[in-house]
Amino acid sequence: MRKTPDASALQKVFYRPIEAAIRWSDLTRHEADILTTLGPRSLPAPNDFPRWPILRLNTERLFDAMANRDLPYGRQGITHDDPSLLDDPALTIRHVDLKSWMTRFYPDQRPAFLFDTLERHLHPSLSVELVQTLLAEQELLKTQLARHERAWESLVAEHEALNAAHTARAAADQQKVDAHPRSESTYLSIVGGLLNLMLGKSPGGTPYSSFHNTESVISALVAHYQGQPGISERTLWAKFAAARRHLSSSEM
């Protein structure tokens, strides 16, 4: 099994076009033989390496990019926009310029000498910067979610506490009502007694009040206390009737 060279061992600050093409074509293990065969030539002939047609193709791509000013180039690592350098044996391409050019024009090809493991596994439409941004946004969303979850848990606990308090208070109120079953009976007796007294007469036949019937009592109450809880004609008629029935049943 062939051992893949370490990517950092393939990297240089700048490359001769044939060196970049060899790395791009994944032929680094044959680099010495290729350079020996080419000698001073910078571009392989069509019959030089019949097993590796990709080598000539990639070399031509590099020269085409430089000739059309898509790929910056120079001499001995110093960038110069001088077309005469395209025939210079000292022609070079900087690593950073080569990576930018390949990212733009060949996004589906990410050779190991230019791109790290993460970059090679990214979709061509993605960049490391975009992934880092997405990861940062993910962490921010996780933090916000945790904060909202804590707030939600606090609200749930508060709701449960209020619900428990309400239940306890309702039970206490019901207990009070159950503990005094005679309260309603007492009130009905008082109301019925007062109503009978107001509409009754003394043994000598003198009216105890100026009210002649229940309707006049209700009208007076509504006129003086309208708006108070329980002070309405319908409620008063019902309560007075209940009070009278209670008194009648008590006297039997």
Residue 166 lies in a domain: no
pLDDT at residue number 189: 82
Asked if residue 101 and residue 16 are part of one domain, the reply reads yes
Q: Cα–Cα distance between 100 and 115 in angstroms, integer?
A: 11
Nearest 5°: phi and psi at 182? -90, -5
Q: What is the mean pLDDT of the chain?
A: 85
Q: Cα–Cα distance between 36 and 111 in angstroms, integer?
A: 23
Q: Cα–Cα distance between 11 and 22 in angstroms, integer?
A: 12
pLDDT at residue number 122: 65
Q: Is the pLDDT of residue 129 over 80?
A: no
Query: Are the CB atoms for 114 and 95 separated by under 8 Å?
Result: yes
What residues does 94 pair with on adjacent strands? 14
Domain that holds residue 237: 179-252
* Band of pLDDT at residue 179, cut at 50, 70 and 90: very low
pLDDT at residue number 7: 65
Query: Are the CB atoms for 17 and 97 separated by under 8 Å?
Result: no
Beta strand pairing status for 91-94 and 74-75? antiparallel
pLDDT at residue number 226: 84
Q: Cα–Cα distance between 196 and 235 in angstroms, integer?
A: 18
Residue 101 lies in a domain: yes
Residue 224 lies in a domain: yes
Residue 69 lies in a domain: yes
Residue 132 lies in a domain: no
Identity (one letter) of the amino acid at 87?
D
Query: The pTM is what?
Result: 0.48
pLDDT at residue number 70: 96
Query: Are the CB atoms for 58 and 25 separated by under 8 Å?
Result: yes
From 115, 135, 155, give the residue that closes a domain. 115
pLDDT, tens digit (0-9, with 9 covering 90-100), for 228-242 = 888 888 888 988 888
Identity (one letter) of the amino acid at 96?
V
From 88, 115, 142, give the residue that closes a domain. 115
Q: Cα–Cα distance between 49 and 55 in angstroms, integer?
A: 8
81, burial (CB in 10 Å: exposed 0-12, middle 13-18, buried 19+)? exposed
Tally of domains in the chain: 2
Mean pLDDT of 147-172: 87
pLDDT at residue number 187: 80
Residue 144 lies in a domain: no
Asked if residue 183 and residue 104 are part of one domain, the reply reads no
Alpha helix positions (H), 180-226: 182-199, 214-225
pLDDT, tens digit (0-9, with 9 covering 90-100), for 99-119 = 999 989 998 888 989 987 777
From 79, 96, 115, give the residue that closes a domain. 115
Q: Which residue has the higher pLDDT, 26 or 125?
A: 26
146, burial (CB in 10 Å: exposed 0-12, middle 13-18, buried 19+)? exposed
Asked if residue 196 and residue 103 are part of one domain, the reply reads no
Mean pLDDT of 214-232: 86
Asked if residue 197 and residue 108 are part of one domain, the reply reads no
pLDDT at residue number 1: 45
pLDDT at residue number 134: 73
Query: Are the CB atoms for 221 and 234 separated by under 8 Å?
Result: no
Mean pLDDT of 196-217: 85
Q: Is the pLDDT of residue 25 over 50?
A: yes
* Band of pLDDT at residue 244, cut at 50, 70 and 90: confident
Residue 250 lies in a domain: yes
Residue 139 lies in a domain: no
